[in-house]
Structure formats: structure tokens, C-alpha cells
Amino acid sequence: MEQKKFRAAVIGCGGISQVHIAALQGMKNVEIAAVCDIREDRLAKAVEKTGAKGYADWHDVVALPDIDVAHICLPHYLHAPVTIEALRLGRNVITEKPMATTVEDARAMIAASEQPGAGSLGVIFQNRYISSVQHAKKIIESGELGAFLGVSASVCWRREGAYYTESGWRGAKATEGAGSLINQSIHTLDLLSYLGGPIAKVRGSVFTGLNEGTIEVEDNAMAVALYEGGQRAVIHTSNNNVADDPVEINIHLEKGALKLFGPKLYAVENGELKLIDAGDNKTVVGKSVWGSGHSAQLEDYYTCLAEKRHFWLDGRSAFPALSLVLNIVRSSEEGKWIELDRA
Ligand SMILES: NC(=O)c1ccc[n+]([C@@H]2O[C@H](COP(=O)([O-])OP(=O)(O)OC[C@H]3O[C@@H](n4cnc5c(N)ncnc54)[C@H](O)[C@@H]3O)[C@@H](O)[C@H]2O)c1
């Protein structure tokens, strides 16, 4: 017997929706039934591309009784209200990162996902699905290189001008939540706790550099964090670079070191880099810095739905990265160490 197809709604038809749509169109057990955007031009394009019905108001979409999964591809400040309403109505939700712009909203999303009858909540952190990241996690957890001692991470990209001024939401605290930390480096901050374990506290400093006058959020940040076990993480992020450099995560272990450089994983031996995992090399839709993990994560999400299993990258799993982002900013404002919030 042929399995029933899941009916998906893509809410928000800007940049990242292209990646969701391409991934969904490659999946046999999903059909895109609805697309939604307040911008007529984007909605019309999405309707043409998918053949789905178009909606201007997200309330109408999440209320459709035959929608199984809502993909939230909206500006940051809308993730929480749309997710909470969709979950309340029993829809499953996969939302783009960051899950929310405040700790309170993130907690409300988790609470909504844990109500009886609520749908499943998944949060996109596609880089966890890259083979080199999985490989690094395996090496750390196997103990073959001894205990985990700490990491340094760097995300130096370039974002300016129209990226902010034409979006209508990026660069403003109320709609983006923060700047380079919440939008660009949150993927890397997520990997710090995914690979190294829970982070206890952070001391950070943020400022607006070359985008001063254009945006009110930070485009540069520096932080030191301590894991619950006392290990350290040094974090540097900037949106003021000449270009988008590969993300770098240096992982220090008792008997050696690993380096994630872009999608590649190296062992560091006597100062030399030895390639141990080239990372996924699939064709990607969208910018290469977004990586190629969306399809893998979305396939995993739908497999869990089909098999009625809990999806692991849920609100609780995504929460620590948001807490780290918001508390680096808070630490900078208050000039002191901040204990991370718990979900
Ligand atoms: N996972 C990744 O690597 C990755 C990469 C890029 C963006 N993102 C995330 O995806 C989300 C969207 O980013 P984007 O770059 O596609 O932004 P975007 O501005 O290109 O797209 C957002 C769309 O939402 C629409 N919209 C705004 N308010 C709406 C409303 N009330 N109802 C319906 N539609 C509305 C806008 O018109 C726009 O088309 C953000 O959370 C961003 O952080 C994730």
C-alpha cells in the first residue's frame, strides 16, 4: 500500500525557503500544499515553482486542517508566535534557526511542543548533519584522543548594505534579536555544545563595527565560555570581513587536536593538518556557507514523523545555542560573567 504523503506548508518565501522547497521536492513522501508570504511577488514565484496554493496570512495556513508540517522560513521575531499557534492547532513544525529572539519565547515554544496533542517541534541546525561534524563527535566521544579540553571557533563573514537595508527585518533588535551572533555564528555556537557538552557561563564583548549607522545590533563579537566540566571555549565572530571565510573550529583533546575548517575535518599532528573527512560534497541550493545539511535534516525529520518517533533536534536541543547568543550580548552590556539560561 502506498504511504500517505505528508502535506507541507512553507511559510515565508524568501532566501532560505528555496532550500526547503528544493529539499521537499526531492522527497517522495511529501507534497508542498501551501506557501505563504506577505510579498505578492515572492508568493507568486513560490506558487509557480511548487504548484501549491498561495496565502498572504500565516494564520490561515496554520489553521488548515489538512496541513501536516509547517516550515517556518520567516524573520526571527515571527518564529515563536507562528510556531506556538501551529503547535497549538496540532500541526508539526520545523522552524529555521534561531528558534526565537528571547529566552522567554524559546521556553514558551518548548512548553507548547510538550502540551498533549501538540505536533512535533524541530529546529534547523543543518550543520549537525555534515559528515565531518558527525566524525568529530565520534572521535571526541570515543575517547581515542583522550579527554575534551576545549575549543576555539571563528566565523568571519561579510554582511552589509542591502543585506540589511532591503530585508525589512535584519539589523533591528526587535526583529532580528541580535546580529552576527544570532544570524551567522549561531550554527557554530550550536556545534560548541553539541560537540563539547553543556556550557555553564560566558563573558563576552560585542560592538557594531563597519555597519555602524546601518544596524542597531552587533556585527562583531568576542567571548570566552566555560563548559560545565571547566573546559573552555574561545569565540570570535565578525560580519566585517572581506569575504566569507570558512568557519573554523579547533578542538583540543588530551592526546591531540582536530580542526573543522569549512566542511572538512583535519587531525592536527605535529603542526601538520591531515585530512580525515572531506565533509559532504552534495550540490547545494543557496549559498555554500549554508552547507548541504538541510536535505539530510528534513529527511530525518519526516522519517521520525512517519515512524512516530521523537525528533532529536527539538526545542530543548536547540535552546543552548540561543542562550549562548543572548548571554554573550548580555555579558557585554552588563560587563560581567553570565550563567547560561536553562530550557
Ligand atoms: N539554516 C540556514 O543556514 C539559514 C540560512 C539563511 C536564512 N536562515 C533563516 O531563515 C529565516 C528566513 O531568512 P531569509 O534569509 O530567507 O529571509 P528573507 O527576508 O529572504 O525571507 C523571509 C520572508 O518572510 C516574508 N515575511 C515577512 N513577514 C511575513 C509575514 N508576517 N507573513 C508571511 N511572510 C512574511 C518576507 O516577505 C520574506 O519573503 C531566518 O530565520 C534566517 O535566520 C537560515
Which domains does the chain show, CATH number per domain?
6-126+296-314 (3.40.50.720), 127-280+320-339 (3.30.360.10)
CA distance 286 to 269: 35
Structure confidence at residue 221 (pLDDT): 98
Structure confidence at residue 280 (pLDDT): 73
Single-letter amino acid code for the residue at 276: I
Nearest CA to ligand 1 atom 14: 15
pLDDT values of the chain reduced to their tens digit, one per residue, 343 residues: 567 899 999 999 999 999 999 999 999 999 999 999 999 999 999 999 999 999 999 999 999 999 999 999 999 999 999 999 999 999 999 999 999 999 999 999 999 999 999 999 999 999 999 999 999 999 999 999 999 999 999 999 999 999 999 999 999 999 999 999 999 999 999 999 999 999 999 999 999 999 999 999 999 999 999 999 999 999 999 999 999 999 999 999 999 999 999 999 999 999 999 999 999 766 556 666 666 789 999 999 999 999 999 999 999 999 999 999 999 999 999 999 999 999 9
Q: pTM of the prediction?
A: 0.97
Written as nine digits, the cell of 224 is 570566552
Mutation to probe ligand 1, out of 58, 61, 74 (largest number of atoms < 8 A from CB)? 74
Phi, psi of 248 (to 5 degrees): -120, 130
Neighbours of 303 (CB within 10 A): 13
Phi, psi of 78 (to 5 degrees): -95, -10
Question: Is residue 150 helix, strand or coil?
Answer: strand
Written as nine digits, the cell of 187 is 550554527
CA distance 336 to 343: 22
Peptide bond before residue 116 is cis, with ω within 30 degrees of 0? no
Give per-residue burial for 99-126: e unless 16+ CB within 10 Å, then b.
bbbebebbbbbbebbeeeebbbbbbbbb
Mutation to probe ligand 1, out of 37, 40, 58, 244 (largest number of atoms < 8 A from CB)? 37
Task: Kindly state if the Cβ of 13 falls inside 6 Å of ligand 1.
Answer: yes
CA distance 63 to 78: 16
